[in-house]
């Protein structure tokens, strides 16, 4: 049995999703002619309480378009030191938008409003790059997949706005956060000018993310999507999968969180392992293995040994990640826990 915990992006479309894709009316979306794409964009914009939305191939493109559409080359952007935008998007902020990224760290993904305000350069002193945009992330992958409390995000966004900055939320896994808090997407999106959301992670669609915001920002993002080669033609088959996922897979995210909890508790009982897990955690379980453990003493063999027994995880150097998702069953979870118990005694 293979249990693939490497990411929540490894899921395969269900039969029902494939049927929805096959049935979808399509057109050329670069001409704005695809009714299924248009309906999805309208649906998500409405649910997020924003004027417009743009379907894009990936979360990375949604974030990069948000940067490009709301800044000019030479501007500064404030973001979290462990954010996806800073660390895992190939240097796109510099290469695509010519931005200076100023990173601020915290253990829990939250950024202090007063601290942010004190860092803003208003552009009057020519020595400094003018600060134009604040980017936050929820759930926060680099901080362990935690839900960042809405109140702290709202205070940070408010401080940024008061200093004249635009605000973007990387909400690749915002659906997971909402499954924990019970908050509506509209409420979660309200403090931000733009929000990116992914359909291809916990929701289980094969491809697709979306950027929501006001008409003029989304119109600019649309232009840059074309420039970067992100215009897709009969994308309705992808929009249909995303729409199906939104309708049918949101409620079940709580199951992934429950299974993550079971896995975290089991790992927590192993003397050689430490678990980063608490009440605000979602579908990502980060854990550590002691340096003195036989699987770490002569090079890191944790990932390879688990894989030999059909349990696929990521990480290294003592810190590892297991992502729970649609394709992990209770049997798979039981098998994985057995394997990890045997390996990490």
Ligand X SMILES: Cc1ncc(COP(=O)(O)O)c(C=O)c1O
Question: According to the binding rule CB under 6 A, does residue 137 interact with ligand X?
Answer: yes
Question: According to the binding rule CB under 6 A, does residue 59 interact with ligand X?
Answer: yes
| Region of 58-66, 222-230, 239-247, 303-311 interacting with ligand X (CB under 6 A) | 58-66
Question: According to the binding rule CB under 6 A, does residue 198 interact with ligand X?
Answer: yes
| Range 8-47, binding ligand X (CB under 6 A) | none
Closer Cβ to ligand X, 70 or 209, answer by number: 209
| Burial of 32 (C-beta count, 10 Å sphere; 0-12/13-18/19+) | exposed
Residue 199 C-beta: closest distance to ligand X, Å: 9
Question: According to the binding rule CB under 6 A, does residue 209 interact with ligand X?
Answer: yes
Residue 169 C-beta: closest distance to ligand X, Å: 10
Question: According to the binding rule CB under 6 A, does residue 64 interact with ligand X?
Answer: no
Q: Are strands 319-323 and 273-276 parallel, antiparallel or unpaired?
A: unpaired
* CB-CB neighbours of 25 under 10 Å: 11
Q: How far apart are CA 295 and CA 343, in angstroms?
A: 8
Question: Which residues have a Cβ under 8 Å from the Cβ of 161 and sit 6 or more positions away?
Answer: 167
Closer Cβ to ligand X, 65 or 339, answer by number: 65
| Region of 59-67, 256-264, 291-299, 327-335 interacting with ligand X (CB under 6 A) | 59-67
Interface with ligand X: number of residues (CB under 6 A): 12
Triad 172, 143, 10: Cα angle to 5°: 45
Question: According to the binding rule CB under 6 A, does residue 60 interact with ligand X?
Answer: yes
- Say if residues 321 and 144 touch (Cβ distance below 8 Å): no
Q: How far apart are CA 1 and CA 22, in angstroms?
A: 30
Q: How far apart are CA 187 and CA 180, in angstroms?
A: 14
| Region of 53-61, 112-120, 128-136, 238-246 interacting with ligand X (CB under 6 A) | 53-61
Residue 139 C-beta: closest distance to ligand X, Å: 8
Question: Which residues have a Cβ under 8 Å from the Cβ of 196 and sit 6 or more positions away?
Answer: 59, 62, 63, 66, 168, 169, 170, 171, 172, 209, 210, 211
Picking from 39, 58, 46, the residue whose alpha carbon sits closest to that of residue 212 is 46
Residues in the chain: 345
* Binder among 4, 75, 170, 256 for ligand X (CB under 6 A): 170
Question: According to the binding rule CB under 6 A, does residue 141 interact with ligand X?
Answer: yes
| Region of 54-62, 69-77, 179-187, 253-261 interacting with ligand X (CB under 6 A) | 54-62
Residue 170 C-beta: closest distance to ligand X, Å: 5
Q: What residues make contact with ligand X under the rule CB under 6 A?
A: 58-60, 63, 84, 137, 141, 170, 172, 198, 200, 209
């Amino acid at each position: 049995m293979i249990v693939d915990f490497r990411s929540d992006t490894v899921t395969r479309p269900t039969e029902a999703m494939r049927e929805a894709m096959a049935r979808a009316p399509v057109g050329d979306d670069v001409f704005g002619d695809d009714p299924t794409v248009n309906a999805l964009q309208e649906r998500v914009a409405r649910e997020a309480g924003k004027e417009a939305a743009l379907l894009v191939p990936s979360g990375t493109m949604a974030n990069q378009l948000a940067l490009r559409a709301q800044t000019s080359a030479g501007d500064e952007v404030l973001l979290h030191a462990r954010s996806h935008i800073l660390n895992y998007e190939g240097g796109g902020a510099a290469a695509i938008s010519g931005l200076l990224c100023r990173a601020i760290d915290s253990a829990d993904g939250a950024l202090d409003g007063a601290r942010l305000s004190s860092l803003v350069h208003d552009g009057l002193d020519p020595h400094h790059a003018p600060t134009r945009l604040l980017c936050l992330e929820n759930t926060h992958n680099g901080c362990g997949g935690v839900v960042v409390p809405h109140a702290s995000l709202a205070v940070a966004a408010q401080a940024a706005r008061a200093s004249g900055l635009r605000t973007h939320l990387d909400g690749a896994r915002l659906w997971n956060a909402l499954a924990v808090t019970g908050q509506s997407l509209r409420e979660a999106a309200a403090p931000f000018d733009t929000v990116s959301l992914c359909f291809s992670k916990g929701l289980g669609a094969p491809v697709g993310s979306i950027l929501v915001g006001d008409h003029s920002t989304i119109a600019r993002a649309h232009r840059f999507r074309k420039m970067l080669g992100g215009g897709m033609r009969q994308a309705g088959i992808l929009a249909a999968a995303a729409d199906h996922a939104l309708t049918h897979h949101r409620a079940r995210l709580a199951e992934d969180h429950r299974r993550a909890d079971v896995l975290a508790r089991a790992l927590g009982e192993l003397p050689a392992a430490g678990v980063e897990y608490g009440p605000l955690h979602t579908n990502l379980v980060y854990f550590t293995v002691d340096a003195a453990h036989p699987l770490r003493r002569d090079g890191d063999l944790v990932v390879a040994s688990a894989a030999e027994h059909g349990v696929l995880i990521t990480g290294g150097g003592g810190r590892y990640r297991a992502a729970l998702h649609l394709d992990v069953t209770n049997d798979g979870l039981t098998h994985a826990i057995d394997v990890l118990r045997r390996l990490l005694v």
